[in-house]
Structure 1
Amino acid sequence: MLQSVKWGEFLLRDLFEVASSKKIYHANNLENIFKNQIKGSFPYVVRTTRQNGVRGYIIEDEQYTNDANTLSFAQDTFSVFYQKQKFFTGNKVKILKPKFKNQNEKIMQYITACFQKALSRLSWGVGSTVDTIKIIKIQLPICENGAINFSFMEKFIAELEATHIAELEATHIAELEAYLSVTGLKDYKLTKEERQALKDFENKEIKWKDFRIGDLFTRIKTNKLPYKAKELPQEETGKYNLPCLTSSFQNQGLNYFAPREGATILKNVISIPSNSDVYKAYYQSRDFTVLSDAYAIKFQKLKEITSKKYLFLVTSINKKTNLPIYSYKNKLGGWNVVKDKFIKLPIKEQEEIDYEFMENFILAIKKLIIKDVVEFSNSKISTTKKVLNK
């Protein structure tokens, strides 16, 4: 689209009237600068190059607001922004009032971009006067007769907006599919059983029982690796492709990579640090091995256990291990200590562990999280559409 357009050069003074702000407000003298716009406030435009030049919002005498649908020009930072609504300014901010009739938002945005491009060769601190601002040259699209091609500008911005919305929607769909794929879910609608699990939990209708961790789990013996952490790469490289568990609480304790040869490869277990500042347990769903200052435990009450049940169990364990009282100075200890701690688990009438509730509860939580992400994404797209259609 841009390749076929003709361009013409225009002086700023032929396009805009360069005016001073009706009143200069110094930030140090203002009683309040609000982060968000509230009733009776207007944008406070300063020389910043961020946030459309808006430092915040202030409530002052409205007669000193500058006109809406104009451009703000910061004389020191050489930043120009389209101001859709009336606004106040700080020091060294000029107001550019359009002389042309075609003054809709899309055209003003296009001209702003062209103006900012013309200013790119200037740097902060050079300074400018009204006279030097007036003779700044701007490249704009023109018609065959040399007149400014306002129609092209409007169509170009409209196409950009449509493309942006389409990209947001495509990204939204891709993210949702990715979330569902990772969690193994087809959708995020709660089943009858999942709704009931949430209801029972919220209404405190679940029965709980204390279980000794050592009666539920067994520690897994692993081969001692002939490496120190500092000798291993922190990124997967060649044969160094097996994540190694240490006492770190970052990245689930998996911050190094070792060769698979000679290593005990684990998966679908829980890892716990034995010498750390934070004793947080993690469910490990992928291949890894133990390097140092940590160990892995496996649930022994079921021959097969799903990731949802493990996620429920690891949360229960962390209520006993991941506590602020433990640190390098006040260590929790290893398996010999942890195995004798008790965790609370849901039970049925016969006082057997209620695995069905654990499964449904975790599935419900996963779906609610995905639902929140989807609703946030939908809201972002909807807001973008409203902003662009104003």
Structure 2
Amino acid sequence: MISPLSHRFVQAKWGGFHLKDLFEIKSSIKRFDANKVTVFERGHHPYIIRSGSNNGQRGYLKENEKFLNEGNTISFGQDTATLFYQKEPYFTGDKIKVLKSTLQQFEQKEALFFISSLNKAFSNFSWGSSRFNVKTIGNQIFNLPVREDNQIDFDFINSFMRQLEIEFLEVLKNYLAASGAPDFCFTKEETLAIESLKTKKFKNFKVTDIFNIRNTSSLLSREIISNSGSTPYLSASAENNGVNSFISYDPSFLNKGNCVFIGGKTFVVSYQEKDFFSNDSHNLALYLKEKKYSHKDILLGLATCINLSLRHKYSWGNSISSQKIKHDFVTLPLEDGQPDFEFLGNLTAALKKLVLKTVDDFVTEKTSELVTQ
């Protein structure tokens, strides 16, 4: 059954617009190469690259502010067609165009709606396409809702985005209700883990001393039927915890869950709670040797430790393997010369509650804003 919001979307009158008629396509003021600057995790000004995640942001730069690009613009990854709204002034990496609206009415809600349509318009372009030149970008047609006079219907856009935000907040409220931590209170052990983090000692351990390493089974996408069942089908993607679809297939191809999963060609690390199918035998499944510590929060923490310890070493051009990882080390919290798995689990549980509290505060703030609009 189609939802009321989807029904409104389908019933709206739409018109096509050339991108160049609504935006000025500008080159970034200066390109900053990632290997020639210091990228900070927080503070200063956003550093926008051609990434498809985290709003295109790699981190923050502290550079001459005369090279900042204007805020309230859209960053466009020129050979990846990644589009993100940038509210504040920002620095850029290579091949980023800045789309500055020529419309009087253009802020975050309008930008996000426009980006959704632009993403669809550019969806048939391949990565690295030579068609991503300024002329082609400008001539690209994308659809927007229009009034009877064929002018952009901003009332519809704002009303639609407001209703979408209401529905999204409802989803978050349901998630929080199901999280089982409505008071977000730390246990004694979780409090101690947070307080002792700065003074906690860490040590490098061979990955193979901590985990049993297995290559996963391999099911190519052409061999499966998407959404045909309830078992996760994993790829090496960073999106959706690596889950590409849920399928039904020959159980002999199943991999046991409750493990740390590594996308072999991309080095994307995640925790997999349930048994799963995998799209590539280059992917790795890491099973904790000390079974009594093989619990969700501990394994979530271990996934983070693996990522932080090895992400500098592996990439698409230098992929990890079951042979290479035998020579690798993972940095873990230490207690009496051994990995402190209990500390790691308590720390992870505390961090989860902090994140949930942040989400709860966000929902409360946004709900209040919607009420006063």
- What TM-score comes out, normalization by structure 1 length? 0.51
Inter-partner Cα distance in structure 2 for 1:221 and 1:290: 10
Matches within 5 A, 1:370-389: 370-385=356-371, 387-388=372-373
Aligned twin of 2:292: 303
Count residues in correspondence: 236
1:285 aligns with 2:281: no
User: Computing the radius of gyration over CA atoms, which structure comes out larger, 1 or 2?
Assistant: 1
Give the superposition deviation at 1:47: 6.2
1:241–1:260 contact (8 Å) kept in structure 2: no
Q: Does structure 1 residue 236 correspond to structure 2 residue 252?
A: no
From 188, 209, 214, the equivalent of 1:215 is 209
Q: How many angstroms apart in 2 are the aligned matches of 1:361 and 1:52?
A: 36
Q: Name the amino acid aligned to 2:287.
A: K
Amino acid at match of 2:149: L
Cα distance 1:314–1:48, how it changes in 2: closer, same or farther (>3 A)? same
Distance 1:52 1:268, change over 3 A: closer
Provide the residue aligned with 2:260 in structure 1. Answer: 270
1:175 aligned partner: 172
- Which residue, out of 178, 186, 204, partners 1:190? 186
How far, CA to CA, are the matches of 2:303 and 2:346 in structure 1?
Answer: 16
Residues 257 and 272 in structure 2, CA contact (< 8 A), matched pair in contact too: yes
Q: Deviations over 1:185-222 (max 9, x none)?
A: 35312233322221211xx2101122111011002466
Alpha-carbon separation, structure 1, partners of 2:177 and 2:223: 38
* Matched letter for residue 317 of structure 1: I
Asked if the contact 1:242/1:289 (under 8 Å) is kept, the reply is yes
Tell me whether 1:312 sits opposite 2:301 in the alignment: yes
Indicate yes or no: 2:316 matched with 1:328: yes
State the alpha-carbon separation in 1 of the partners of residues 71 and 240 from structure 2.
38
List per-residue Cα deviations over 1:258-289 (Å, max 9, x = no partner): 51432234211111123x1x212211012302
Alpha-carbon distance in structure 1 between the residues aligned to 2:345 and 2:71: 46
**Structure 1: how far apart are the matches of 2:150 and 2:285?**
58
Q: How does 1:1-390 map to 2 (within 5 A)?
A: 48=104, 120-124=147-151, 175-182=172-179, 184-201=180-197, 204-220=198-214, 224=217, 227-233=219-225, 235-237=226-228, 240-256=229-245, 257-274=247-264, 276=265, 278-292=266-280, 293-323=282-312, 326-329=314-317, 331-348=318-335, 350-385=336-371, 387-388=372-373
What is the CA–CA distance in structure 1 between the aligned matches of 2:183 and 2:108, rounded to whole Å? Answer: 39
Distance 1:273 1:53 in 2: 35
Work out the CA distance in 1 between the residues paired with 2:327 and 2:71: 54
| Per-residue deviation, 1:244 | 2.9
Any gaps of 5 or more consecutive residues in structure 2?
A: 1-23, 25-69, 73-86, 88-101, 112-145, 153-161
SS of the residue corresponding to residue 338 of structure 2 reads: coil
TM-score by length of 2: 0.53
CA distance in 2, matches of 1:255, 1:173: 25
Counterpart CA distance in 2 for 1:316 and 1:359 is 12
* 1:124 CA drift (Å): 3.5
| Equivalent residues of 1:280, 1:321 under 8 A apart | no
